[in-house]
Amino acid sequence: MKAINLTVNGEAHKVFCPENITLLTLLREYLHLTGAKVGCAAGECGACTVIYNGKPVNSCMVLAMEAEGAVVETIEGEAKDGKVSPLQQAFIDNHALQCGFCTPGMIMSARALLDENPKPSRDDIIHAMEGNLCRCTGYEPIITAIEQAAGGVR
């Protein structure tokens, strides 16, 4: 066991955990933030996407020990004061989810894109979302939702 210090959704944490777990396991099992999902656990599906020091990454592809001092944003930080964000609302409005398993990862990839590029083109969106797989929607409603969110104010 080793202590790791990191900031998650604006809150500082000191977590004692084994040296061989991933950031995804730390978030889910030690901080009880289960929004990031365990999909493939091999960097293929994007269900575990979080924003890590400003960049979207697969949290299954980061060791918890690498995250010393890191600033992490997860889906749990997206809604503010009990209200979903415009990005989340755009997903609801456009039926951009069905089973919802991929949605936390989708939202975090889209959030990272919009933070960096508030007015992305459709191609920018497709490019930014290429690491997130969805087996329900066929992607079109997701792209439309992000376009809609980019047109509004967060």
Helices 86-93, 140-151: axis angle to 10 degrees equals 140
Is residue 31 a contact partner of residue 76, using CB atoms and an 8 Å limit?
Answer: no
Answer for which of 34, 131, 143, 148 binds other proteins (CB under 8 A) is 131
Nearer to other proteins, 22 or 103 (CB): 22
Residue 59, token pair as written in the block: 């949290």
Helices 103-116, 140-151: axis angle to 10 degrees equals 40
Nearer to other proteins, 127 or 135 (CB): 127
Binding window for other proteins (CB under 8 A); candidates: 36-44, 74-82, 88-96, 141-149: 36-44
Compute the distance between CA of residue 137 and CA of residue 142 in angstroms, rounded to an integer.
8
Query: Which residues, numbered 63-92, are part of the site for other proteins (CB under 8 A)?
Result: 63, 65-66, 68
Task: Please report, as ranges, the residues that interact with other proteins according to CB under 8 A.
Answer: 2, 18-20, 22, 41-44, 46, 49, 52, 55-58, 60-63, 65-66, 68, 109, 127-128, 130-132
